[in-house]
Structure 1
Amino acid sequence: MEESTQSAMTAGVPVTGEEMPEPPPEVIEAARNAPDHWLAMVDLTWQGEGPPPLWALIGQWRSGPTGEIEEWRDNPEYRPSPQMLDWSDPTDPVDRALQLAATGYGPGEDVARELARAEVSVLVTATGTPLAAASPEGTPVIPVYTSERYLESVGRLLYDRRPVADLVEQLPPGHALYLNPTGPISMLVDTEELRTALASAGAAPDAKREAGTAKALRPGTGAGGAEPVSGGRAIGKPARAANGSTVVGAGLAGSGISRTAR
């Protein structure tokens, strides 16, 4: 393991004895095969090539001279994935891209790319005009929902289902799309970035579509959604490899097969 990475990983508070979390079976087995060694626990949402970056490592166990687990240290630079945050499973490709971008496990550009190919639900007036609102920061927005799960949390309100290519042309001046405000994570979508993605996807508005074709009222679930978390494109931290350490998959995120980073 590189000195800078080792320093960052060992900056966590050591936990030993009964206060130490119980290591999973794959970690116990890896410790027996690697006495007096650090065993890094990786969040298996990270699927890149080569050794995992520092921010994808949950922490590390230390095996003693006899191969027994003696210590656990959290990684202070660990960035939890959507699954480790216990967010609900993504409902669609846009929601998946949004969750990964918000946690740093995927590029922010993927949100606009998936959204450009999508159809979304939008609250409308009786004449079919998209219903405007404001984000928690006061930004003028048009809320949109990528799935019925998030839409139903709004309640019994009139809505329409529209291709994003159509909806972006119907945005009032100065308004942005507010993506899934009732989901575990929401995002203000940059309009120009979305237009670029639409152009790349070859998507064009449907000239034959009537703006006032609103559907019937849909009953809501009555259960309020999670507190919206606003923000733009996620910015990732510099990745640092954990060379030379043994990497063990997190039990919550995958099969738990151990591998050695090189």
Structure 2
Amino acid sequence: MTGDDGNTQMTEPAKAPPVTDALRAQAKANPGTWVYAIDPGFDPAGTVPPHGIVGAWQSDAQGELGEEFTPNPDYLPTPQARGWAEPSSPLERVLQLVLCGYLPNARLAEEFAASTVFTYGRPGDGIFLAPAQDGGRLAYAFTDADKAAASGSSDHQALTGADLAAALPEGVRIAVNPGAHVSAIVLPSAVLRS
């Protein structure tokens, strides 16, 4: 879904995780109870919020796990559960948490404004603008220099997200980490309000 500031959150239904030896041992030790699958972003021995529980199986009187997995409708998969790489910058960490629903969309605009981003173009030559599928235009911004270099252009410059947003013509949006699995569109107006 797209928020008011142009960011996109990803949601997906919880799937039954594989049954591990640890889950079987937990069922044996606690017959007739629920055995919970915990998102890998949380320590199962620590305090796990309700949205960190993937779902559960009920164990029978002999401590065997039932076949039926009950998904948690309030589960929010973490970046770790989604298999995303460890973030390379605080901005990328916020991007991941916003996309997972752990932070509000406005938090991405705030972090973007304060962060150093990397965009196509040489200092003094202006910022490269790409056509968007909807007929608009996009400025590309990367959360670190390696992502900018991996995108195929050696001509990139570093500037703050706020400076990038202020330099863009009316109607241009910002594509954060375009082409990457973890990416979003940010509106310059949301960045400048931060």
Aligned pair partner of 1:147 in 140, 144, 147: 144
Aligned pair partner of 2:161 in 153, 164, 173: 164
Q: TM-score, normalised by structure 1?
A: 0.59
Matching residue's letter, 1:108: N
Q: Deviations over 1:187-230 (max 9, x none)?
A: 11122221121xxxxxxxxxxxxxxxxxxxxxxxxxxxxxxxxx
Unaligned segments of structure 1, at least 5 residues: 1-11, 198-262
Q: Deviations over 1:63-97 (max 9, x none)?
A: 11022223341527444322222122211111111
Residue 30 (1) aligns with residue 41 (2):
no
Match of 1:81 in 2: 78
Q: Following TM superposition, by how much is the alpha carbon of 1:21 offset from its aligned partner in structure 2, in angstroms?
A: 3.6
Q: TM-score, normalised by structure 2?
A: 0.77
Identity %: 25
Computing the radius of gyration over CA atoms, which structure comes out larger, 1 or 2?
Answer: 1
Match of 2:111 in 1: 114
Structure ranking higher on relative contact order (CA contacts 8 Å, 6+ apart) = 1
Residue 39 (1) aligns with residue 19 (2):
no
Unaligned segments of structure 2, at least 5 residues: 1-13
Q: Secondary structure at the match of 1:192?
A: helix
Q: How many residues align?
A: 178
Q: Following TM superposition, by how much is the alpha carbon of 1:135 offset from its aligned partner in structure 2, in angstroms?
A: 3.3
Match of 2:9 in 1: none
Q: In structure 2, do the counterparts of structure 1 residues 75 and 137 end up closer, same or farther at CA, with 3 Å as the change threshold?
A: farther
Superposed CA RMSD in Å reads 2.9
> Map of 1:173-252 to 2, 5 A cutoff?
173-197=170-194
> Map of 1:64-143 to 2, 5 A cutoff?
64-73=60-69, 75=71, 77=73, 78-124=75-121, 127-143=124-140
